[in-house]
Amino acid sequence: MIVRIMGDKQYRMDSCFLDDMNSIDNQIVSHIDKGDVEAYKKDLFRLVSLVRAQGEPLGAENIAISDIVVPPEDLSLEEARRVFAGEGIIKG
């Protein structure tokens, strides 16, 4: 699967990490619902770090449609309310 970190790069990731990403995504949605800024920031950092650690960066010459778009680590809680609305960034 192809994952884009907004404002960064695209990464090719093995789909075996989808469950881990979805779990973190669900936690982020919960933190946002509760207004827990610290927990939200911590888990957004975890999600971005997982992509960077487990993904293979794609070069600029490889333009691909992203399966998942992860927001940048500096996304405010107010902005996150729109981005992570409903099920979050990972549907299903």
- CB-based contacts of 21-25 (< 8 A; 24+ apart in sequence): 21/47, 21/50, 21/51, 21/68, 21/90, 22/88, 22/90, 22/92, 24/50, 25/84, 25/88, 25/89, 25/90
Give the pLDDT confidence score for residue 13 in this predicted structure.
97
Query: To 10 degrees, the CA torsion angle through 26, 77, 47, 85?
Result: 40
64-89 per-position pLDDT tens digit: 899 999 999 999 999 999 999 888 99
Radius of gyration, alpha carbons of the chain: 13
Give the pLDDT confidence score for residue 60 in this predicted structure.
80
3-62 per-position pLDDT tens digit: 999 999 999 999 999 999 999 999 999 999 999 999 999 999 999 999 999 999 998 888
Give the pLDDT confidence score for residue 92 in this predicted structure.
66
Give the pLDDT confidence score for residue 42 in this predicted structure.
98
pTM: 0.93
Q: Where are the domains of the chain?
A: 2-83
